[in-house]
Amino acid sequence: MVRFAFAGAVFLMLAACAAAPAPLTPGAAAAEAATITALLKAQDAAWNAGDIDGFMHGYWPSDDLRFASGGDVVRGYEATLARYKVRYPGRDGMGVLTTADYEIDILSPGAAIAHGSWHVKLQDENLSGLYTLVLRKLDGEWLIISDTTTSAE
């Protein structure tokens, strides 16, 4: 009986190791982090061009997208897009976005967390805060699946 239990435990450990994805090398992780940073900078560029739809290309186009800010949680790509368009109406209402202080943690070949700061300069006010993004690599592309953004005010 002990042999069967031991053999079963060994089998389960081997199966778990075989099912786990291989960890990324430091060079591969750095390349993935650079790809995510480029995504975030492309979002800044789209925002500053007045293109909220282009900005949203970094988000997962799914009803399961999660966006949390200001004590509210919005679920879904379309609802998140609508929230941005109401909060920042038109090019003049969008101001100039700058993100910085990027901290990208590659958790696995298909999952990452990004932390950073944001600043929006509007005509009459400056907004700023921090964000935490959860990203998944879906069909070879890093996409934000959850965004928690806080305000410094």
Q: What is the pLDDT of residues 54-103, one digit of tens each?
A: 999 999 999 999 999 999 999 999 999 999 999 998 888 899 999 999 99
**1-37 residue pLDDT tens:** 555 444 454 444 444 444 555 678 878 889 999 999 9
Burial of residue 102, with CB atoms counted within 10 A of its CB: 0-12 exposed, 13-18 middle, 19 or more buried: middle
pTM of the model: 0.83
